[in-house]
Amino acid sequence: SFKSVVDFCKEENVIPVINFIVKVSSKASPLYKEGNRKIDDINKKLAAYVKANNLDYIDLNPQLTVNYEKVLDAKFTSDGSHFNNKANEIWALQILNILAKYNL
């Protein structure tokens, strides 16, 4: 389970960082709205878990989604679900921020 993985990381002195799921666009699937609702539900659970356990996390949705549609912006993907280099650069900066937090 998810909790087991986090607990194992802590036992091994590894800093767990939770990555929220990024929403997809209509290019990914005709059922993208339903998928994004499920992503929202999972991310809400992740947010509660992160808060309760004082964990670091990365949520790229505010940076990678189109505000009015809340879907992955076309400029960050070619197929509606996988990141392109622009999105990966934003993700990398978030990772670097967490590494810097721990002087790593």
For 53-102, the pLDDT digits (tens) are 999 999 999 999 998 779 999 999 999 999 999 999 999 999 999 999 99
**15 residue type, one letter:** I
Contacts of 1 (CB under 8 A, 6+ apart): none
34 CB burial (10 A radius; 0-12, 13-18, 19+): exposed
pLDDT of residue 100: 98
pLDDT of residue 41: 97
Give the DSSP H/E element, type plus range, for residue 34.
helix 32-53
For 43-52, the pLDDT digits (tens) are 999 999 999 9
> Residue 23 carries which DSSP code?
P
pLDDT of residue 40: 96
Among residues 72, 70, 61, 76, the alpha carbon closest in space to that of 19 is found at 61
**With a threshold of 0.85, does the pTM exceed it?**
yes
